[in-house]
Structure 1
Amino acid sequence: MKHIVPVKWLLARLYEPDILIVDCRFQLGQPDAGRKAYEESHIPGAVYIDLEQDLSAPIGEHGGRHPLPSIEELVKRLGRSGISNEQRIVAYDDQGGAMASRLWWILSYLGHSSVYVMEEGLAGWQKAGLPVSADKTVIFPKTFVPQPRPEMLADMQEVKSKLGTVGVTLIDSREAPRYRGEVEPIDPVAGHIPGAINFFWGEGRRADGTWKNGDEQQARFADLSQDDEIIVYCGSGVTATPNVLALQEAGFTRVKLYAGSWSDWISYSENPVAVGGRETISE
Protein backbone atom coordinates (compact mmCIF):
# COMPACT_ATOMS: atom_id res chain seq x y z
CA MET A 1 0.00 0.00 0.00
CA LYS A 2 1.21 3.48 -0.85
CA HIS A 3 -0.06 5.51 2.08
CA ILE A 4 -0.69 2.97 4.86
CA VAL A 5 2.13 1.51 6.93
CA PRO A 6 1.84 -1.37 9.41
CA VAL A 7 2.90 -1.16 13.03
CA LYS A 8 6.02 -3.23 12.35
CA TRP A 9 7.14 -0.77 9.66
CA LEU A 10 7.10 2.08 12.14
CA LEU A 11 8.70 0.00 14.89
CA ALA A 12 11.67 -0.75 12.63
CA ARG A 13 12.15 2.97 11.94
CA LEU A 14 11.08 4.41 15.28
CA TYR A 15 14.35 6.18 16.03
CA GLU A 16 15.43 7.12 12.51
CA PRO A 17 16.14 10.87 12.57
CA ASP A 18 13.87 11.81 9.66
CA ILE A 19 10.79 10.06 11.09
CA LEU A 20 8.21 12.26 12.80
CA ILE A 21 5.27 10.50 14.45
CA VAL A 22 2.09 12.52 14.87
CA ASP A 23 -0.70 11.60 17.28
CA CYS A 24 -3.99 12.84 15.78
CA ARG A 25 -6.49 11.39 18.25
CA PHE A 26 -9.64 13.47 18.57
CA GLN A 27 -13.22 12.81 19.64
CA LEU A 28 -16.00 14.87 18.12
CA GLY A 29 -17.96 16.55 20.87
CA GLN A 30 -15.11 16.10 23.36
CA PRO A 31 -12.47 18.51 22.04
CA ASP A 32 -10.03 17.97 24.92
CA ALA A 33 -10.20 14.18 24.96
CA GLY A 34 -7.55 13.58 22.30
CA ARG A 35 -4.93 15.80 23.88
CA LYS A 36 -5.61 14.33 27.32
CA ALA A 37 -5.25 10.82 25.92
CA TYR A 38 -1.96 11.84 24.30
CA GLU A 39 -0.66 13.25 27.58
CA GLU A 40 -1.51 9.99 29.32
CA SER A 41 0.20 7.73 26.77
CA HIS A 42 1.48 7.92 23.21
CA ILE A 43 4.02 6.31 20.93
CA PRO A 44 7.47 7.40 22.13
CA GLY A 45 8.59 10.61 20.45
CA ALA A 46 5.18 11.43 18.96
CA VAL A 47 3.95 15.02 18.79
CA TYR A 48 0.28 15.91 19.07
CA ILE A 49 -1.74 17.73 16.43
CA ASP A 50 -5.31 18.76 17.22
CA LEU A 51 -8.06 18.49 14.60
CA GLU A 52 -9.75 21.73 15.63
CA GLN A 53 -6.85 23.81 16.94
CA ASP A 54 -4.28 22.88 14.29
CA LEU A 55 -6.06 21.44 11.24
CA SER A 56 -9.19 23.60 11.16
CA ALA A 57 -9.99 27.31 11.02
CA PRO A 58 -12.55 28.96 13.30
CA ILE A 59 -16.15 28.26 12.31
CA GLY A 60 -17.78 31.02 10.27
CA GLU A 61 -20.95 31.53 8.28
CA HIS A 62 -19.63 29.24 5.56
CA GLY A 63 -16.85 26.69 5.29
CA GLY A 64 -18.45 23.95 7.36
CA ARG A 65 -17.81 22.65 10.86
CA HIS A 66 -14.07 22.14 10.29
CA PRO A 67 -13.08 24.84 7.80
CA LEU A 68 -9.76 24.43 6.08
CA PRO A 69 -7.28 27.07 7.31
CA SER A 70 -5.44 29.26 4.84
CA ILE A 71 -2.21 27.86 3.45
CA GLU A 72 -0.26 30.52 5.33
CA GLU A 73 -1.88 29.56 8.63
CA LEU A 74 -1.39 25.85 8.01
CA VAL A 75 2.29 26.37 7.28
CA LYS A 76 2.75 28.22 10.58
CA ARG A 77 0.92 25.57 12.57
CA LEU A 78 2.73 22.67 10.94
CA GLY A 79 6.11 24.33 11.47
CA ARG A 80 5.32 24.90 15.14
CA SER A 81 4.59 21.18 15.43
CA GLY A 82 8.01 20.30 14.05
CA ILE A 83 6.96 19.30 10.54
CA SER A 84 9.25 20.01 7.60
CA ASN A 85 9.40 18.90 3.98
CA GLU A 86 12.35 16.59 4.57
CA GLN A 87 10.76 14.32 7.15
CA ARG A 88 8.75 11.17 6.74
CA ILE A 89 5.51 11.78 8.60
CA VAL A 90 3.59 8.90 10.19
CA ALA A 91 0.17 9.83 11.57
CA TYR A 92 -2.03 7.73 13.81
CA ASP A 93 -5.24 8.02 15.79
CA ASP A 94 -7.77 5.72 17.44
CA GLN A 95 -10.70 6.71 15.23
CA GLY A 96 -10.20 4.24 12.40
CA GLY A 97 -7.73 6.50 10.62
CA ALA A 98 -10.14 9.39 10.05
CA MET A 99 -8.17 12.04 11.96
CA ALA A 100 -4.81 10.78 10.76
CA SER A 101 -6.13 10.86 7.19
CA ARG A 102 -7.07 14.53 7.61
CA LEU A 103 -3.40 15.29 8.37
CA TRP A 104 -2.32 13.02 5.51
CA TRP A 105 -4.60 14.88 3.11
CA ILE A 106 -3.55 18.35 4.27
CA LEU A 107 0.16 17.57 3.97
CA SER A 108 -0.36 15.91 0.58
CA TYR A 109 -2.37 18.93 -0.58
CA LEU A 110 0.52 21.15 0.51
CA GLY A 111 2.94 19.09 -1.55
CA HIS A 112 4.52 16.82 1.07
CA SER A 113 5.52 13.57 -0.61
CA SER A 114 6.23 11.29 2.38
CA VAL A 115 3.16 11.11 4.58
CA TYR A 116 1.70 7.87 5.90
CA VAL A 117 -1.13 6.66 8.11
CA MET A 118 -0.25 3.93 10.60
CA GLU A 119 -2.52 0.93 10.34
CA GLU A 120 -4.82 0.12 13.29
CA GLY A 121 -3.83 3.25 15.23
CA LEU A 122 -2.57 3.31 18.79
CA ALA A 123 -4.72 0.31 19.72
CA GLY A 124 -2.83 -1.79 17.16
CA TRP A 125 0.48 -0.57 18.55
CA GLN A 126 -0.54 -1.54 22.08
CA LYS A 127 -2.05 -4.84 20.94
CA ALA A 128 1.40 -5.73 19.61
CA GLY A 129 2.80 -5.15 23.09
CA LEU A 130 4.86 -2.15 22.04
CA PRO A 131 5.87 0.63 24.44
CA VAL A 132 4.00 3.85 25.05
CA SER A 133 5.18 6.93 26.92
CA ALA A 134 3.72 9.81 28.89
CA ASP A 135 6.87 11.89 28.40
CA LYS A 136 6.38 15.29 26.83
CA THR A 137 8.07 15.34 23.45
CA VAL A 138 10.45 18.21 22.89
CA ILE A 139 9.41 19.97 19.69
CA PHE A 140 11.95 21.74 17.52
CA PRO A 141 10.06 24.16 15.26
CA LYS A 142 10.72 23.63 11.57
CA THR A 143 10.15 25.49 8.34
CA PHE A 144 7.61 23.94 6.04
CA VAL A 145 7.60 25.21 2.46
CA PRO A 146 4.27 24.55 0.76
CA GLN A 147 3.87 23.50 -2.84
CA PRO A 148 0.07 23.50 -3.04
CA ARG A 149 -1.79 21.07 -5.26
CA PRO A 150 -5.06 22.89 -6.03
CA GLU A 151 -6.24 19.94 -8.12
CA MET A 152 -6.86 18.08 -4.83
CA LEU A 153 -9.39 20.60 -3.50
CA ALA A 154 -12.93 21.59 -4.47
CA ASP A 155 -15.11 24.36 -3.06
CA MET A 156 -18.88 24.74 -2.98
CA GLN A 157 -19.12 26.70 -6.22
CA GLU A 158 -17.17 24.06 -8.11
CA VAL A 159 -19.30 21.25 -6.71
CA LYS A 160 -22.50 23.11 -7.54
CA SER A 161 -21.36 23.93 -11.06
CA LYS A 162 -20.56 20.28 -11.75
CA LEU A 163 -23.78 18.67 -10.47
CA GLY A 164 -25.01 16.28 -13.12
CA THR A 165 -21.94 16.73 -15.32
CA VAL A 166 -20.94 13.65 -17.28
CA GLY A 167 -17.52 12.45 -16.15
CA VAL A 168 -17.85 13.83 -12.61
CA THR A 169 -18.74 11.54 -9.69
CA LEU A 170 -19.72 12.93 -6.29
CA ILE A 171 -19.16 10.63 -3.30
CA ASP A 172 -20.81 11.04 0.11
CA SER A 173 -18.65 9.34 2.75
CA ARG A 174 -21.13 9.32 5.65
CA GLU A 175 -23.04 6.33 6.96
CA ALA A 176 -26.00 5.35 4.78
CA PRO A 177 -28.80 6.55 7.11
CA ARG A 178 -27.27 10.04 7.20
CA TYR A 179 -26.77 10.00 3.43
CA ARG A 180 -30.41 9.05 2.93
CA GLY A 181 -31.54 11.77 5.33
CA GLU A 182 -33.17 9.36 7.75
CA VAL A 183 -31.11 10.65 10.69
CA GLU A 184 -28.89 13.67 11.22
CA PRO A 185 -27.25 13.84 14.64
CA ILE A 186 -24.93 16.76 13.94
CA ASP A 187 -25.99 19.13 11.18
CA PRO A 188 -29.25 21.15 11.07
CA VAL A 189 -30.38 19.72 7.71
CA ALA A 190 -30.60 16.03 6.77
CA GLY A 191 -29.95 14.55 3.34
CA HIS A 192 -27.21 14.69 0.73
CA ILE A 193 -26.02 16.70 -2.23
CA PRO A 194 -28.19 15.77 -5.23
CA GLY A 195 -26.55 13.20 -7.47
CA ALA A 196 -24.07 11.99 -4.88
CA ILE A 197 -23.54 8.28 -4.36
CA ASN A 198 -22.77 6.75 -0.98
CA PHE A 199 -19.54 5.00 -0.02
CA PHE A 200 -19.26 4.90 3.77
CA TRP A 201 -15.66 5.67 4.68
CA GLY A 202 -15.49 2.90 7.29
CA GLU A 203 -15.90 0.27 4.57
CA GLY A 204 -12.33 1.00 3.51
CA ARG A 205 -11.23 -1.15 6.45
CA ARG A 206 -11.64 -4.82 7.23
CA ALA A 207 -13.54 -6.13 10.24
CA ASP A 208 -10.31 -6.37 12.25
CA GLY A 209 -9.58 -2.67 11.72
CA THR A 210 -6.84 -3.09 9.12
CA TRP A 211 -7.10 -1.21 5.86
CA LYS A 212 -8.13 -2.98 2.69
CA ASN A 213 -5.31 -3.21 0.18
CA GLY A 214 -5.27 -1.66 -3.27
CA ASP A 215 -6.97 -4.62 -4.94
CA GLU A 216 -9.71 -4.69 -2.32
CA GLN A 217 -10.25 -0.96 -2.69
CA GLN A 218 -10.46 -1.41 -6.46
CA ALA A 219 -13.18 -4.00 -5.93
CA ARG A 220 -14.98 -1.64 -3.56
CA PHE A 221 -14.99 1.11 -6.19
CA ALA A 222 -15.45 -1.22 -9.16
CA ASP A 223 -18.48 0.67 -10.49
CA LEU A 224 -16.52 3.92 -10.80
CA SER A 225 -14.51 4.98 -13.82
CA GLN A 226 -10.87 5.87 -13.25
CA ASP A 227 -11.27 8.40 -16.06
CA ASP A 228 -13.84 10.37 -14.08
CA GLU A 229 -13.15 13.29 -11.81
CA ILE A 230 -14.23 12.26 -8.32
CA ILE A 231 -15.22 14.75 -5.63
CA VAL A 232 -15.48 13.36 -2.11
CA TYR A 233 -17.30 14.88 0.86
CA CYS A 234 -18.64 13.94 4.30
CA GLY A 235 -20.10 16.03 7.11
CA SER A 236 -17.23 18.44 7.63
CA GLY A 237 -14.29 17.33 5.50
CA VAL A 238 -12.71 14.91 7.98
CA THR A 239 -14.08 11.40 7.37
CA ALA A 240 -14.04 12.03 3.62
CA THR A 241 -10.24 11.95 3.72
CA PRO A 242 -10.00 8.17 4.37
CA ASN A 243 -12.07 7.71 1.21
CA VAL A 244 -9.71 10.01 -0.71
CA LEU A 245 -6.83 7.89 0.54
CA ALA A 246 -8.63 4.66 -0.35
CA LEU A 247 -9.38 5.91 -3.86
CA GLN A 248 -5.71 6.73 -4.36
CA GLU A 249 -4.79 3.25 -3.10
CA ALA A 250 -7.19 1.89 -5.73
CA GLY A 251 -5.38 3.81 -8.48
CA PHE A 252 -7.73 6.76 -8.96
CA THR A 253 -5.77 9.90 -9.78
CA ARG A 254 -8.45 12.56 -10.31
CA VAL A 255 -9.74 12.81 -6.77
CA LYS A 256 -10.73 16.02 -4.98
CA LEU A 257 -11.88 16.74 -1.45
CA TYR A 258 -14.82 19.07 -0.96
CA ALA A 259 -13.31 20.39 2.26
CA GLY A 260 -16.39 22.21 3.53
CA SER A 261 -18.56 19.18 2.79
CA TRP A 262 -22.22 18.82 3.80
CA SER A 263 -22.05 21.36 6.65
CA ASP A 264 -20.78 23.97 4.20
CA TRP A 265 -23.25 22.98 1.46
CA ILE A 266 -26.29 23.52 3.68
CA SER A 267 -24.97 26.89 4.92
CA TYR A 268 -26.17 28.25 1.56
CA SER A 269 -29.96 28.17 1.84
CA GLU A 270 -30.42 28.15 -1.93
CA ASN A 271 -28.49 24.89 -2.41
CA PRO A 272 -30.62 21.85 -3.27
CA VAL A 273 -30.91 18.91 -0.88
CA ALA A 274 -31.80 15.32 -1.74
CA VAL A 275 -33.04 12.48 0.46
CA GLY A 276 -33.41 8.77 -0.15
CA GLY A 277 -31.24 6.66 -2.43
CA ARG A 278 -29.13 7.52 -5.44
CA GLU A 279 -30.47 10.19 -7.74
CA THR A 280 -29.69 11.02 -11.32
CA ILE A 281 -29.42 14.61 -12.46
CA SER A 282 -29.64 15.39 -16.15
CA GLU A 283 -27.61 18.17 -17.68
Structure 2
Amino acid sequence: MANIQFVVSPSWLLQHLQNPQVVIVDCRFSLANPQLGKQQYQTSHIEGAYYLDLNLDLSSPVGEHGGRHPLPNPNDLAKKLAAIGVEFQKTLVVAYDDSRFAFASRLWWLLRYFGHEKVAVLNGGFSQWQQAGYPITDIIPQPRTANFVPQIQTQMLVDIEAVKNRKDLPKVVLVDSRESDRYRGEREPIDKVAGHIPGAVNYPWMELTDTNGNSISPKENRQRWEGLDKAEEILVYCGSGVTACVNLLSLELAGIHTGKLYAGSWSDWISY
Protein backbone atom coordinates (compact mmCIF):
# COMPACT_ATOMS: atom_id res chain seq x y z
CA MET A 1 0.00 0.00 0.00
CA ALA A 2 2.80 2.40 0.84
CA ASN A 3 4.00 2.56 -2.77
CA ILE A 4 0.76 4.17 -3.98
CA GLN A 5 1.22 7.86 -4.63
CA PHE A 6 -1.85 9.54 -3.16
CA VAL A 7 -0.89 13.08 -4.26
CA VAL A 8 0.22 13.77 -7.85
CA SER A 9 1.66 16.97 -9.30
CA PRO A 10 0.17 18.93 -12.22
CA SER A 11 3.26 18.11 -14.30
CA TRP A 12 2.78 14.38 -13.63
CA LEU A 13 -0.86 14.59 -14.66
CA LEU A 14 0.05 16.51 -17.82
CA GLN A 15 2.28 13.61 -18.87
CA HIS A 16 -0.58 11.15 -18.28
CA LEU A 17 -3.40 13.21 -19.79
CA GLN A 18 -3.89 10.85 -22.74
CA ASN A 19 -3.38 7.65 -20.72
CA PRO A 20 -6.56 5.51 -21.04
CA GLN A 21 -5.75 4.00 -17.62
CA VAL A 22 -6.17 7.42 -15.95
CA VAL A 23 -9.56 9.01 -15.29
CA ILE A 24 -9.67 12.61 -14.05
CA VAL A 25 -12.57 13.76 -11.87
CA ASP A 26 -13.43 17.39 -11.15
CA CYS A 27 -14.84 17.64 -7.60
CA ARG A 28 -15.11 21.43 -7.31
CA PHE A 29 -17.94 22.46 -5.01
CA SER A 30 -19.11 25.28 -2.77
CA LEU A 31 -21.10 24.60 0.39
CA ALA A 32 -22.41 28.19 0.19
CA ASN A 33 -23.52 27.80 -3.45
CA PRO A 34 -24.10 24.14 -4.37
CA GLN A 35 -24.50 24.93 -8.10
CA LEU A 36 -21.15 26.73 -8.39
CA GLY A 37 -18.86 23.71 -8.86
CA LYS A 38 -20.90 22.35 -11.78
CA GLN A 39 -21.04 25.81 -13.36
CA GLN A 40 -17.26 26.19 -13.02
CA TYR A 41 -16.77 22.76 -14.57
CA GLN A 42 -19.03 23.60 -17.52
CA THR A 43 -17.08 26.83 -18.09
CA SER A 44 -13.61 25.27 -17.94
CA HIS A 45 -11.98 22.13 -16.58
CA ILE A 46 -8.90 19.99 -17.04
CA GLU A 47 -8.98 18.38 -20.45
CA GLY A 48 -10.81 15.04 -20.32
CA ALA A 49 -12.12 15.49 -16.76
CA TYR A 50 -15.56 14.30 -15.69
CA TYR A 51 -17.59 15.99 -12.96
CA LEU A 52 -18.91 14.42 -9.74
CA ASP A 53 -21.05 16.58 -7.44
CA LEU A 54 -20.63 16.41 -3.66
CA ASN A 55 -24.38 16.56 -2.99
CA LEU A 56 -25.71 14.59 -5.98
CA ASP A 57 -22.98 11.98 -6.54
CA LEU A 58 -20.72 11.72 -3.48
CA SER A 59 -23.52 11.83 -0.88
CA SER A 60 -27.02 10.44 -0.45
CA PRO A 61 -30.10 12.46 0.52
CA VAL A 62 -30.13 13.98 4.00
CA GLY A 63 -32.32 12.29 6.62
CA GLU A 64 -33.11 12.89 10.29
CA HIS A 65 -29.79 11.29 11.29
CA GLY A 66 -26.60 10.54 9.38
CA GLY A 67 -25.38 14.12 9.06
CA ARG A 68 -25.44 16.68 6.29
CA HIS A 69 -23.59 14.52 3.75
CA PRO A 70 -24.51 10.86 4.30
CA LEU A 71 -22.37 8.43 2.32
CA PRO A 72 -23.68 7.67 -1.16
CA ASN A 73 -25.39 4.41 -2.05
CA PRO A 74 -22.46 2.21 -3.18
CA ASN A 75 -24.31 0.78 -6.20
CA ASP A 76 -25.37 4.22 -7.41
CA LEU A 77 -21.87 5.64 -7.22
CA ALA A 78 -20.39 2.45 -8.71
CA LYS A 79 -22.62 2.90 -11.79
CA LYS A 80 -21.47 6.50 -12.14
CA LEU A 81 -17.82 5.46 -11.81
CA ALA A 82 -18.29 2.76 -14.45
CA ALA A 83 -19.92 5.33 -16.77
CA ILE A 84 -16.81 7.53 -16.66
CA GLY A 85 -14.49 4.62 -17.39
CA VAL A 86 -13.25 3.63 -13.92
CA GLU A 87 -12.36 -0.06 -14.05
CA PHE A 88 -12.28 -1.55 -10.55
CA GLN A 89 -8.70 -1.77 -9.21
CA LYS A 90 -7.24 -1.01 -12.67
CA THR A 91 -7.93 2.64 -13.50
CA LEU A 92 -6.04 5.36 -11.64
CA VAL A 93 -8.50 8.07 -10.61
CA VAL A 94 -7.07 11.56 -10.14
CA ALA A 95 -9.48 13.83 -8.25
CA TYR A 96 -9.12 17.60 -8.04
CA ASP A 97 -10.93 20.59 -6.58
CA ASP A 98 -10.07 24.19 -5.81
CA SER A 99 -10.56 23.96 -2.05
CA ARG A 100 -7.33 22.55 -0.65
CA PHE A 101 -8.37 18.89 -1.16
CA ALA A 102 -11.69 19.36 0.70
CA PHE A 103 -13.89 17.67 -1.91
CA ALA A 104 -11.30 15.68 -3.89
CA SER A 105 -10.41 13.89 -0.62
CA ARG A 106 -14.03 12.80 -0.20
CA LEU A 107 -13.81 10.94 -3.54
CA TRP A 108 -10.32 9.67 -2.61
CA TRP A 109 -11.70 8.22 0.62
CA LEU A 110 -14.87 6.80 -0.98
CA LEU A 111 -12.91 4.94 -3.65
CA ARG A 112 -10.67 3.35 -1.05
CA TYR A 113 -13.74 2.52 1.08
CA PHE A 114 -15.08 0.79 -2.05
CA GLY A 115 -11.85 -1.24 -2.22
CA HIS A 116 -10.34 0.74 -5.10
CA GLU A 117 -6.81 1.73 -4.04
CA LYS A 118 -5.76 3.42 -7.27
CA VAL A 119 -6.73 6.99 -6.50
CA ALA A 120 -4.85 10.25 -5.98
CA VAL A 121 -5.60 13.93 -5.50
CA LEU A 122 -4.07 16.68 -7.64
CA ASN A 123 -1.63 18.88 -5.73
CA GLY A 124 -2.63 22.53 -5.92
CA GLY A 125 -5.95 21.71 -7.57
CA PHE A 126 -7.42 23.47 -10.57
CA SER A 127 -5.78 26.85 -9.81
CA GLN A 128 -2.25 25.47 -9.92
CA TRP A 129 -3.05 23.55 -13.11
CA GLN A 130 -4.38 26.72 -14.71
CA GLN A 131 -1.46 28.86 -13.51
CA ALA A 132 0.95 26.37 -15.10
CA GLY A 133 -0.75 27.03 -18.43
CA TYR A 134 -1.82 23.39 -18.84
CA PRO A 135 -4.76 22.42 -21.12
CA ILE A 136 -8.26 23.42 -20.04
CA THR A 137 -11.47 23.09 -22.03
CA ASP A 138 -15.24 23.41 -21.83
CA ILE A 139 -15.78 20.18 -23.80
CA ILE A 140 -17.63 17.56 -21.76
CA PRO A 141 -16.08 14.12 -22.41
CA GLN A 142 -18.24 11.27 -23.72
CA PRO A 143 -19.51 8.59 -21.34
CA ARG A 144 -17.38 5.45 -21.20
CA THR A 145 -17.95 1.88 -20.11
CA ALA A 146 -16.13 -0.04 -17.41
CA ASN A 147 -16.78 -2.64 -14.76
CA PHE A 148 -16.85 -1.35 -11.18
CA VAL A 149 -18.05 -3.68 -8.43
CA PRO A 150 -17.31 -2.20 -4.98
CA GLN A 151 -15.82 -4.33 -2.23
CA ILE A 152 -16.78 -2.33 0.85
CA GLN A 153 -14.02 -1.96 3.45
CA THR A 154 -16.26 -1.79 6.53
CA GLN A 155 -13.27 -1.40 8.86
CA MET A 156 -12.66 2.13 7.48
CA LEU A 157 -15.93 3.47 8.89
CA VAL A 158 -17.44 4.07 12.33
CA ASP A 159 -20.95 5.14 13.36
CA ILE A 160 -22.15 7.11 16.37
CA GLU A 161 -22.38 4.00 18.59
CA ALA A 162 -18.80 3.01 17.83
CA VAL A 163 -17.63 6.57 18.57
CA LYS A 164 -19.50 6.62 21.90
CA ASN A 165 -18.16 3.19 22.90
CA ARG A 166 -14.56 3.61 21.78
CA LYS A 167 -13.60 7.30 21.97
CA ASP A 168 -12.42 7.19 25.60
CA LEU A 169 -10.45 3.95 25.35
CA PRO A 170 -6.73 4.38 26.15
CA LYS A 171 -5.41 3.55 22.66
CA VAL A 172 -8.11 5.42 20.72
CA VAL A 173 -7.87 9.05 19.59
CA LEU A 174 -10.88 11.08 18.44
CA VAL A 175 -9.88 13.82 16.00
CA ASP A 176 -12.04 16.86 15.18
CA SER A 177 -10.96 18.19 11.77
CA ARG A 178 -12.79 21.53 11.81
CA GLU A 179 -11.25 24.98 12.19
CA SER A 180 -10.18 25.65 15.79
CA ASP A 181 -12.83 28.28 16.52
CA ARG A 182 -15.56 25.84 15.47
CA TYR A 183 -13.97 23.11 17.58
CA ARG A 184 -13.96 25.47 20.57
CA GLY A 185 -17.59 26.41 19.90
CA GLU A 186 -16.81 30.10 19.40
CA ARG A 187 -18.27 30.09 15.88
CA GLU A 188 -20.73 27.75 14.17
CA PRO A 189 -21.68 28.86 10.65
CA ILE A 190 -23.51 25.69 9.57
CA ASP A 191 -24.76 23.39 12.33
CA LYS A 192 -27.51 24.10 14.89
CA VAL A 193 -25.24 23.44 17.88
CA ALA A 194 -21.69 24.70 18.52
CA GLY A 195 -18.90 22.78 20.25
CA HIS A 196 -17.24 19.40 19.82
CA ILE A 197 -17.60 15.75 20.82
CA PRO A 198 -16.27 15.34 24.39
CA GLY A 199 -12.71 13.98 24.39
CA ALA A 200 -11.88 15.07 20.83
CA VAL A 201 -8.55 16.70 19.96
CA ASN A 202 -8.36 19.30 17.20
CA TYR A 203 -6.32 18.90 14.00
CA PRO A 204 -7.75 21.44 11.52
CA TRP A 205 -7.96 19.89 8.04
CA MET A 206 -6.42 22.93 6.29
CA GLU A 207 -3.06 22.20 7.94
CA LEU A 208 -2.28 19.58 5.27
CA THR A 209 -1.89 22.29 2.63
CA ASP A 210 -0.43 25.76 2.21
CA THR A 211 -2.58 28.70 1.09
CA ASN A 212 -2.01 27.72 -2.56
CA GLY A 213 -3.49 24.30 -1.94
CA ASN A 214 -0.19 22.43 -2.18
CA SER A 215 0.54 19.63 0.27
CA ILE A 216 3.08 20.38 3.01
CA SER A 217 6.30 18.33 2.91
CA PRO A 218 6.20 14.65 3.95
CA LYS A 219 8.40 15.51 6.95
CA GLU A 220 6.07 18.32 8.12
CA ASN A 221 3.11 16.03 7.66
CA ARG A 222 4.70 13.27 9.77
CA GLN A 223 5.53 15.85 12.47
CA ARG A 224 1.91 16.99 12.40
CA TRP A 225 0.74 13.59 13.68
CA GLU A 226 3.67 12.95 16.01
CA GLY A 227 2.67 10.57 18.81
CA LEU A 228 -0.54 9.45 17.14
CA ASP A 229 1.23 6.63 15.32
CA LYS A 230 1.01 4.67 18.61
CA ALA A 231 -2.80 4.79 18.62
CA GLU A 232 -4.67 1.62 17.70
CA GLU A 233 -7.54 3.60 16.22
CA ILE A 234 -7.90 7.22 15.13
CA LEU A 235 -11.55 8.17 14.71
CA VAL A 236 -11.82 11.24 12.51
CA TYR A 237 -14.78 13.58 12.09
CA CYS A 238 -15.60 17.11 10.91
CA GLY A 239 -18.95 18.84 10.34
CA SER A 240 -20.42 16.33 7.90
CA GLY A 241 -17.76 13.76 6.97
CA VAL A 242 -16.25 15.68 4.05
CA THR A 243 -13.16 17.60 5.23
CA ALA A 244 -12.39 14.80 7.72
CA CYS A 245 -11.24 12.93 4.60
CA VAL A 246 -8.42 15.48 4.19
CA ASN A 247 -7.10 14.43 7.60
CA LEU A 248 -7.49 10.76 6.67
CA LEU A 249 -5.42 11.47 3.55
CA SER A 250 -2.90 13.31 5.74
CA LEU A 251 -2.66 10.30 8.08
CA GLU A 252 -2.06 7.92 5.15
CA LEU A 253 0.63 10.24 3.77
CA ALA A 254 2.26 10.14 7.22
CA GLY A 255 2.29 6.33 7.09
CA ILE A 256 -0.44 5.97 9.72
CA HIS A 257 -3.09 3.50 8.58
CA THR A 258 -5.36 3.41 11.63
CA GLY A 259 -7.63 6.32 10.66
CA LYS A 260 -11.38 5.70 10.43
CA LEU A 261 -14.13 8.05 9.30
CA TYR A 262 -17.11 8.93 11.45
CA ALA A 263 -19.13 9.78 8.34
CA GLY A 264 -22.06 11.43 10.11
CA SER A 265 -19.65 13.61 12.09
CA TRP A 266 -20.76 16.57 14.23
CA SER A 267 -24.00 17.10 12.28
CA ASP A 268 -25.02 13.49 13.04
CA TRP A 269 -23.81 13.64 16.68
CA ILE A 270 -26.05 16.64 17.48
CA SER A 271 -29.09 15.10 15.74
CA TYR A 272 -29.71 12.74 18.68
TM-score band by shorter chain is over 0.9
- After TM superposition, the structure 1 stretch with the greater mean CA deviation from structure 2, 187-196 or 210-219, is 210-219
Cα deviations by residue, 1:61-111 (Å, 9 ceiling, x for unpaired): 001000012322332332234322121100000011110000000001101
What is the alpha-carbon distance in structure 2 between the residues aligned to residue 80 and residue 178 of structure 1? 38
Deviation for aligned residue 1:136: 1.4
Give the C-alpha shift of residue 233 in structure 1: 0.4
Residue 52 of structure 2 corresponds to residue 55 of structure 1 = no
Alignment of 1:1-283 (within 5 A): 2-85=5-88, 86-268=90-272
Moved more, 74-83 or 50-59: 74-83
CA RMSD of aligned residues (A): 1.3
The alignment partner of 2:137 has SS state of coil
Q: CA deviation at 1:206?
A: 2.5
The two structures have a TM-score, normalised by structure 1, of 0.92
State the AA in 2 paired with 1:72: N
Per the TM alignment, residue 15 of structure 1 is displaced from its structure 2 partner at its CA by 0.3
Contact map agreement 2:235 2:260 (CA 8 A) in 1: yes
The unaligned stretches of length 5 or more in structure 1 are: 269-283
Q: What is the aligned-residue identity percentage? A: 50
How many angstroms apart in 2 are the aligned matches of 1:72 and 1:91? 20
Cα contact 2:105–2:249 (8 A) shared by 1: yes
The Cα shift of 1:139 comes to 1.3
Aligned partners of 1:19, 1:97: CA distance in 2, in Å? 19
Q: Which moved more, 1:101-110 or 1:63-72?
A: 63-72
Three-state SS of the structure 1 residue aligned to 2:103 is helix
Whole-angstrom distance in 1 between the partners of 2:35 and 2:159 = 29
Deviations 1:148-198 (A, max 9, x none): 111111111100111311100000000000000111010000000000000
> Does the aligned pair in 1 maintain the 2:78–2:149 contact within 8 Å?
yes
Distance 1:67 1:80 in 2: 22
**Any idea what the Cα deviations from partners look like across 1:171-228, whole Å, max 9, x if unmatched?**
0000000000111010000000000000000011134431023321110111323343
CA, structure 1 residues 147+213, in 2 after alignment: closer, same or farther (shift >3 Å)? Answer: farther
Q: Offset at 1:145?
A: 1.2
- TM-score normalised according to structure 2 size: 0.95
Q: Deviations over 1:3-27 (max 9, x none)?
A: 1001011001110111100000000
